[in-house]
């Protein structure tokens, strides 16, 4: 029975079992105020507990609090159809050959209208059914590499993706699309940016905030935009998502400078500290910069350098932080510590002793800032200078998560501490900017376009 109650936990599950109900049953539910009729749906893993969910006749889903239900009965059954109709993805001679490496997340989900089942849409045939415009852009092959929400991504997943991309790029593919959950998409785009040396083709990470069954879904538009960028000359790891609340274009973000900034808005990703690399609209790309690696398959042989040190501590400074946390990481044999400090790159003097111990024990300590925007400036205040004197390395404009990924990657590449420090301070994949770019703070692309500033 529990197999049939996917996503239901504790009280709600007990309630459904007691009433002998299973998924796809058509049920009538009475509460003190209303009566509903609809199909009992599975729930997402992360849905709120204590509710059941049904699809009403009018196709809307409602969640009903179990405690409010006064009567529930089964009045019929619906059969689940898990398959999206497959249509042959047409191949057009001369079109770019693109491979889509599916990893999961909302962008991979689609709801079966008749039953409400959430199903992945990932074979080329299914994708063609769902987003037929893709066939006007490229010849597409697809592979499901993982089927996970991105909060479950780890370095091993990045490594596997990087190896697959290396093989595909060197075997003549024109571009790669990686549909991915949005939550940790910025970590993956940064990791792939560091891992893929001399990348010869575009690698585009893409997601969606709303699954494709919802009228407001951004999945199709993001996939079309991603496919357009995957067929371009941008031989870098980029992240492509909707760019404004008007939802009519996508922005192309560099993989090491991008952050998810809103839990639910569709234009949730922004380039931090710079303006995006470009935009994509109606299958046309407009670049805002010429500073990117251009595709040149003849010269560049892609190499995946995937070794990654997993023992990296990520310490977000807060007023109550004590030395204990840092001693813990040292005692556990961690090799690197990423600090997300305050302002220009500070932490309280009361934890200096622990930081000093970490550095004495050859742990690399990298400072970034919680402010997100701007460079750390550790020469400005005495507290910053003292940390520099101890040997804390300044992460310049890198966001904490990018610093974390780079630290793990660098310590995977070399055991030699001096080499690691040098590599950490080298601009590998556009993560370091030369200077502050004033218009990058709170940029408004619509405005910049209107004022002819980009």
- What residues line the site for ligand ASP (CB under 6 A)? 105-106, 149-151, 181-183, 207, 209
Query: Does 106 qualify as catalytic in the annotation?
Result: yes
Query: Between 116 and 181, whose beta carbon lies closer to ligand ASP?
Result: 181
Smallest gap, in angstroms, from Cβ of residue 231 to ligand ASP?
24
Smallest gap, in angstroms, from Cβ of residue 405 to ligand ASP?
16
Active-site pick, 173, 260, 335, 396: 260
Angle at the Cα of 188 from the Cα atoms of 83 and 268, rounded to 5 degrees? 80
Residue with the shortest CB distance to ligand ASP:
181
Query: Between 190 and 339, whose beta carbon lies closer to ligand ASP?
Result: 190
> Whole-angstrom Cα distance, residue 86 to residue 55?
25
Smallest gap, in angstroms, from Cβ of residue 153 to ligand ASP?
8
- What's the 3-state SS for the chain? CHHHHCCCCHHHHHHHHHCCCCCCEEEEEEECCCEEEEEECCCCCCCCCCEEEEEECCCCEEEEEHHHEEEEEEEEECCCCCCCCCCCCCCCCCCCEEEEEECCCHHHEEECCCCCCEEECCCHHHHHHHCHHHHHCCEEEEEECCCCCHHHCCHHHHHHHHHHHHHHHHCCCCEEEEECCCCCHHHHHHHHHHHEECCCCCEEEECCCCCCCCCCCCHHHHHHHHHHHHCCCECCEEEEEECCCCCCCEEEEECCCEEECCCCCCCCEEECCCCCCEEEECCEEEECCCCCCECCCCCCCCEECCCCCCCEEEEECCCCCCHHHHHHHHHCCCCEEEEEEECCCECCHHHHHHHHHHHHCCCEEEEEECCCCCCCCCCCCHHHHHHHHHCCEECCCCCHHHHHHHHHHHHHHCCCHHHHHHHHCCCCCCCCCCCCCHHHCCCCHHHHHHCCCC
Active-site pick, 103, 106, 188, 228: 106
Query: Between 24 and 187, whose beta carbon lies closer to ligand ASP?
Result: 187
Angle at the Cα of 396 from the Cα atoms of 391 and 398, rounded to 5 degrees? 115
148: left (phi over 0), alpha (psi -120 to 50) or beta: beta
Query: Between 187 and 443, whose beta carbon lies closer to ligand ASP?
Result: 187
Smallest gap, in angstroms, from Cβ of residue 146 to ligand ASP?
11
Smallest gap, in angstroms, from Cβ of residue 106 to ligand ASP?
3
Query: Between 147 and 283, whose beta carbon lies closer to ligand ASP?
Result: 147
Active-site pick, 103, 182, 228, 231: 182
Smallest gap, in angstroms, from Cβ of residue 154 to ligand ASP?
13
Query: Between 103 and 238, whose beta carbon lies closer to ligand ASP?
Result: 103
Query: Between 105 and 124, whose beta carbon lies closer to ligand ASP?
Result: 105
Smallest gap, in angstroms, from Cβ of residue 235 to ligand ASP?
26
Catalytic residues: 106, 182-183, 260
């Amino acid at each position: 029975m529990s197999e049939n109650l996917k996503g239901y936990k504790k009280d709600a599950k007990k309630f459904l079992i007691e009433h002998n109900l299973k998924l796809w049953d058509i049920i009538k539910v009475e509460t003190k105020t209303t009566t509903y009729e609809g199909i009992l749906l599975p729930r997402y893993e992360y849905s709120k507990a204590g509710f059941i969910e049904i699809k009403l006749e009018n196709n809307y889903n409602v969640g009903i609090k179990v405690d409010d239900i006064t009567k529930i009965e089964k009045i019929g059954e619906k059969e689940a159809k898990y398959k999206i109709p497959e249509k042959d993805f047409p191949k057009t001679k001369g079109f770019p050959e693109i491979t889509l490496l599916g990893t999961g997340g909302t962008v991979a989900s689609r709801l079966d209208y008749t039953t409400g089942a959430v199903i992945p849409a990932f074979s080329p045939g299914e994708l063609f059914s769902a987003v037929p415009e893709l066939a006007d852009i490229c010849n597409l092959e697809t592979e499901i590499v993982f089927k996970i929400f991105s909060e479950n991504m780890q370095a091993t997943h990045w490594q596997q993706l990087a190896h697959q991309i290396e093989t595909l790029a060197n075997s003549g593919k024109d571009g790669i699309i990686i549909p991915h959950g949005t939550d940790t998409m910025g970590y993956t785009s940064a990791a792939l940016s560091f891992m893929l040396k001399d990348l010869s083709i575009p690698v585009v990470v893409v997601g969606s905030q709303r699954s494709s069954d919802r009228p407001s879904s951004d999945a199709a538009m993001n996939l079309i935009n991603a496919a357009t960028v995957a067929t371009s000359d941008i031989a870098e790891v980029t992240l492509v998502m909707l760019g404004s609340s008007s939802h009519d274009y996508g922005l192309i973000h560099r993989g090491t400078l991008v952050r998810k900034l809103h839990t639910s808005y569709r234009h949730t990703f922004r380039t931090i500290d710079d303006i995006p690399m470009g935009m994509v609209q109606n299958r046309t790309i407009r670049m805002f910069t010429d500073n990117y690696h251009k595709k040149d398959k003849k010269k560049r042989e892609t190499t995946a350098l995937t070794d990654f040190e997993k023992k990296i501590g990520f310490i977000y400074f807060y007023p109550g932080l004590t030395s204990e946390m840092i001693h813990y990481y040292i005692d556990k044999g961690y090799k690197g510590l990423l600090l997300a400090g305050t302002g220009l790159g500070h932490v309280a003097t009361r934890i200096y002793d622990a930081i000093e111990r970490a550095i004495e024990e050859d742990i690399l300590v990298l400072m970034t800032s919680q402010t997100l925007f701007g460079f750390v400036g550790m020469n400005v205040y005495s507290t910053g200078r003292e940390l520099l004197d101890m040997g804390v390395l300044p992460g310049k404009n890198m966001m904490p998560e990018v610093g974390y990924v780079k630290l793990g990657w660098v310590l995977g590449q070399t055991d030699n501490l001096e080499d690691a420090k040098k590599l950490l301070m080298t601009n590998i994949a556009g993560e370091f900017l030369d200077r502050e770019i004033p218009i990058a703070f709170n940029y408004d692309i619509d405005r910049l376009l209107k004022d002819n500033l980009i």
